[in-house]
Amino acid sequence: MSEVLTYQEAEHVYAAINEALDRNDPDVVSLYDDMIMYAARYSNIRVGWNVLTREQKMETDSRRTAAHDAFIVSLNIVARIQGEAGAKWKECLTDDRKRVGDFACYIALFRGLEAR
């Protein structure tokens, strides 16, 4: 059984990613922005999951999985680009799909609050 990603862990990882981000490299910034977009897309699907009927879940499941996979790939790319710093924060997340999905939801939360 996977362990839930706590708010404190997510906040730490999010801060570590942003601290290590080379904002002077437009390619890196673009990859980071893609990661944020994929996090928002996945979290949007996840937010509505519990109000869907069983039939709606079956219809949406492949789209949810694809959105989750796209976020994971983009997160892994950012981790690789950040080298040792990326390896450290990635270790905190682990490769557990549920924890990584939790992190996507936290990113949506953090970014949503930053946008006000």
For residues 76-90, average pLDDT: 97
pLDDT band, very low/low/confident/very high, at 116 (cuts 50, 70, 90): confident
pTM: 0.93
- Close Cβ partners of 16 (under 8 Å, ≥ 6 residues apart): 85, 88, 89
For residues 61-87, average pLDDT: 97
Name the residue type at position 98: K
Contact 16, 88 (CB under 8 A): yes
Which pLDDT belongs to residue 1? 59
Question: Average pLDDT, whole number, for the chain?
Answer: 96
94 against 2, higher pLDDT: 94
Specify the length of the chain in residues.
116
pLDDT band, very low/low/confident/very high, at 6 (cuts 50, 70, 90): very high
